[in-house]
Amino acid sequence: MATPTTTAVSVTHYTDPGCPWAYSASPALAVLHWRYGMQLDWELATIGLAEDPERYIGRGYTPERQAKGYLGFRAYGMPFATAPRERVTATGRACRAIVATRLLAPELEYAVFRALQFTHFTTTALFDTDEGIRTALARVPGLDADLVVAAIDDPRTEEAYQTDRARTRTAAGGPTEAQGKSAQSDGPVRFTAPSLQFTHRDGTMLEAGGFQPVEAYDVCLANLDPTLERRPTPESAAEVLREFEYGLTTAEVAAVMAPHLTASDTEHAELALIEAVAAGDATRVALGDDALWLAAP
């Protein structure tokens, strides 16, 4: 079955690269990308959870507390490293790097978002510094990291970033707030990361706020457009990786390979990925306590 190529639904993805919930939702998002392909048109909107580390420090966060907190997220399968950073970090500058990429190289925006997530959760780099951001962006093939870092303070970047922040703070009175999935950390009621808004081409919109299982997203899409084609479960791990040029973690591959309404099996997926590497169909890059798997060139 060929991947459908006609866009039917636009998806606004409200997120922040420093949110562990957003990071932990990556397997579910990988399923959506696999299952619906180009029938979904994705758009990132960066939240900007904190412009200054003092917001977190004032709430009692320390590098030790944050590193220990990652242990609770391991259940969702994404890679983590638990070495404490030298200090608590803010997320606003990393969000601006995503927006700067959107303006300079939009085809690489999502890869940059993921690179910043990986850097934040699997290294001790400080992604609220230009050096830390440059380290993260070095993961993205074909990207001029220096150009993006130089554009972070460009007025056009700031304007687009502030537009993102304003959009993410419009959750008052909507489904996300009704479900208790919103937050009010700096004034207006905002979406938490990740929140998805699905808008059909006829204008109908459904919202899945905050961390949700993949079935919640699937219900939204089935109600918006029952004619959407659902790509079947892949036959191999190598087939999965060929669809995701930026690579996937073990948990993401496991989620994509899981039959519908069946729990993912990371051990099975890892065995399949090891076989793919041995056959020359994939490569493995160590990432925190796991790996990023890529299709062989």
Please write the tens of the pLDDT for every residue from 179-193: 999 999 899 999 999
Nearest partner of 83 among 98, 62, 103, 68, judged by Cα: 68
Residue 150's CB: how many other CB atoms inside 10 A? 13
Please give the CATH superfamily to which domain 9-224 belongs.
Glutaredoxin (3.40.30.10)
Q: Is the pLDDT of residue 6 over 90?
A: no
Pairwise CA distance, residues 54 & 69, whole Å: 18
Can you tell me which residue has the tokens 């399923």? 31
Whether 181 contacts 192, CB under 8 Å? yes
Residue 49's CB: how many other CB atoms inside 10 A? 25
Domain residue ranges of the chain, discontinuous segments joined by +:
9-224, 237-295
Computed over every residue of the chain, the mean pLDDT equals: 96
Please write the tens of the pLDDT for every residue from 129-177: 999 999 999 999 999 999 999 999 999 999 999 999 999 999 999 999 9
DSSP label of 211: S
Asked if the domains 9-224 and 237-295 are classified in one and the same CATH topology, the answer is no
pLDDT number for residue 260: 83
- Average pLDDT of span 228-247: 96
pLDDT number for residue 5: 59
CATH number of 237-295: 1.10.10.10
Please write the tens of the pLDDT for every residue from 69-124: 999 999 999 999 999 999 999 999 999 999 999 999 999 999 999 999 999 999 99
Helices (H), 12-144: 20-24, 26-36, 54-58, 63-69, 92-104, 109-122, 130-137
